[in-house]
Amino acid sequence: MLRFKLKEMLAEKSFQEGRRITMVEVAEKTGISRITLSKMANQKGYSTVTDNLDKLCAYFGCSLSEIAEYLPEEK
């Protein structure tokens, strides 16, 4: 399963820029719906399209490994 580190990336970018960055702002800047971003951040095992990952990497200026990680499924 993939885990998206969207909350961590938001916190880091907010700290770097010295201001609060919201999901609404990320949605507006990336073109990804706020609902999709919320699901990526909060819903365990949420699946999204690679275009969204590309947009998030461009927005945060990061690599894919910084925005998502693979976690083996528990059996």
Residue 47 in any domain: the answer is yes
Q: What is the pLDDT of residues 54-64, one digit of tens each?
A: 999 999 999 99
Residue 66 in any domain: the answer is no
Residue 65 in any domain: the answer is no
- What pTM did the predictor assign? 0.88
Q: What is the pLDDT of residue 26?
A: 97
- Report whether pLDDT(75) > 90: no
Round the CA-based radius of gyration of the chain to a whole number and report it: 12
Query: CA 75, CA 72: separation in Å to the nearest integer?
Result: 9
Which structural domain range is residue 53 located in? 2-60
Residue 70 in any domain: the answer is no
Residue 69 in any domain: the answer is no
Residue 28 in any domain: the answer is yes
Q: How many domains does the chain have?
A: 1
pLDDT confidence tier of residue 8, bands split at 50, 70 and 90: very high
HEC string for 6-44:
HHHHHHHHHHHHCCCCCHHHHHHHHCCCHHHHHHHHHCC
pLDDT confidence tier of residue 74, bands split at 50, 70 and 90: confident
CATH number of 19's domain: 1.10.260
Residue 9 in any domain: the answer is yes
pLDDT confidence tier of residue 43, bands split at 50, 70 and 90: very high
